[in-house]
Amino acid sequence: MLYWLLKYVLLGPLLKLIFRPQVEGLHHVPATGPVILASNHLSFSDSIFTPLIIPRRVTFVAKAEYFTGKGIKGWLTKLFFVGTGTIPVDRSGGRAARAALDTQLRVLRAGGVAGIYPEGTRSPDGRLYRGKTGVARLALESGATVVPVAMLNADEIQPPGTLIPRIDRVRIRVGAPLDLSRYAGSAGDRFVERAVTDEIMYELMELSGREYVDIYAQKLKEPAAA
């Protein structure tokens, strides 16, 4: 209820008025059935703009720490993530990735829409980085339709580390569903999962026009964090 209230009454109309989303290819998102929205990840605001423009409810997962903050800030953060349909997942330990996939798998098996960022983290410089194979595993295990979504300028509206977004027109491009039928029954095959993931990333590169870098974005971030 909070999701729809925020989207259509409290927050959504205001955001649409301010950021005037320009969306290409929205008709590619199926009206029914399980769908995976596989998107590049440029900004924190990606998880706001994507549910804003998709007619159906979109479910993302996020680390559980976002839901356990203290004080007013913690309460507002939790309210935001709950209201945008985000599900908390414990991302500590070796089973973190599997826990996130299992959560999204339940959404898809219920006929819902799962949002996922194949890169696994925000791009540090706007380029498109190597995708992790979780998106392929999710697609192959669920049989869901995979629709690529390119965020075109979210990093210009809200660069990483920026709290207040710049007012500008957000631009999003939705691609045609990918035909992965030839891979049916291949869940668990790591070579197939890599091929599927690379195919998804190629489509995102074509849609976004961003330079592709064949390394994981997290690897680039680790030295800077250290």
pLDDT in tens, 42-74: 998 898 899 999 999 999 887 666 667 777 767
Domain spans of the chain, in order of start: 32-225
DSSP-assigned letter for residue 59: E
Q: What is the pLDDT of residue 161?
A: 79
Please compute the mean of the pLDDT values over residues 14-18 and round it to a whole number.
91
Q: How far is CA 7 from the centre of its chain?
A: 17
pLDDT for residue 197 is more than 60: yes
Indicate the pairing of strand 145-151 with strand 171-174: antiparallel
Which residues does residue 147 pair with via DSSP β-bridges, in sequence order?
37
Q: Is the pTM of this model over 0.95?
A: no
Extract the runs of DSSP E, i.e. beta strands, from 56-166.
58-59, 61-63, 87-89, 113-116, 128-129, 145-151
Which phi and psi angles does 85 have, rounded to 5°?
80, 20
Quick one: tokens of 183? 């891979």
Give kind and range of the element (H or E) at residue 174: strand 171-174
Share of the chain above pLDDT 90, in %: 60
The answer to which of 27-41, 112-126, 156-170, 204-218 has the lowest mean pLDDT is 156-170
Share of the chain above pLDDT 70, in %: 85
CB 151 within 8 A of CB 208: yes
CB 88 within 8 A of CB 64: yes
- Tell me the CATH class for 32-225: alpha beta
Q: What is the pLDDT of residue 91?
A: 57
Cα Rg of the chain (Å, integer): 17
User: Is the model more confident about 212 or about 188?
Assistant: 212
Over the chain, what is the mean pLDDT? 87
